Amino acid sequence: MDVKKLEQMLKNRTPGLMDATGRYAVLVPLVEREEGLFVLYEVRALTLRRQPGEVCFPGGRMEGEETPECCALREMEEELGIPPSAVRVLGRLDFIAHRANFIMYPILGLVKGEAVEGMTLNPGEVDSTFLVPLEHLLQTKPLEYDYTLIPHTGENFPYELIGIPRDYRWQPGGENVPVYPWEGHAIWGLTGRITRHLTALLKQGEH
């Protein structure tokens, strides 16, 4: 191995999430109205195999070499019929390294009000949408719940090869789940985490 070639390869490489099974991006849509700023949420179609009826942001898996911004805008158009030209990208929020070994990039964008009024939902992906005043999210602490993740190994795990006992004390994991109730909807999971992160950033910016 040529050390100089190795060094050059690492210089030209952007580090990612090790062993990631996928890269995803979502658009966090802000909508400006006379009453102030609102956050636009989707309700997933009830016919979807995974997470039907749950609240989410428009988004999906990144394709090829596309950037998180391009992915989020493409998914927004596919799901809500809102073209990229109607969205002003404001920047990236913190990414999520999920325990299922994928990475998610939330992109904050300002969507033109007329585009939201005229959007066309893709019935195969979206059941409905709703708006939540940003001020409400800033003033309302989410309900928070914790659960524990316990590692489970099968009978064929190579304890002897590694040199550890079968009653080895694995480090348990855990998750904190924020929940924002809103008019019959529950904003939770990754969408709740992104919402909580956004409001925390905005509060930091006020000081």
Domains of the chain as residue ranges with CATH? 19-205 (3.90.79.10)
Q: Are 109 and 28 in contact (CB under 8 A)?
A: yes
pTM attached to this predicted model: 0.90
Angstrom distances, CA of residue 163 to CA of 125, 157, 160, 167:
49, 11, 5, 12
Under DSSP, the state recorded for 120 is -
Q: How many whole angstroms separate alpha carbon 141 and alpha carbon 188?
A: 13
Residue 161: pLDDT band (50, 70, 90) is very high
3-state secondary structure of 136: helix
Residue 204: pLDDT band (50, 70, 90) is confident
pLDDT value at residue 2: 86
DSSP H/E element including 70: helix 68-80
Q: What is the mean pLDDT of residues 169-180?
A: 92
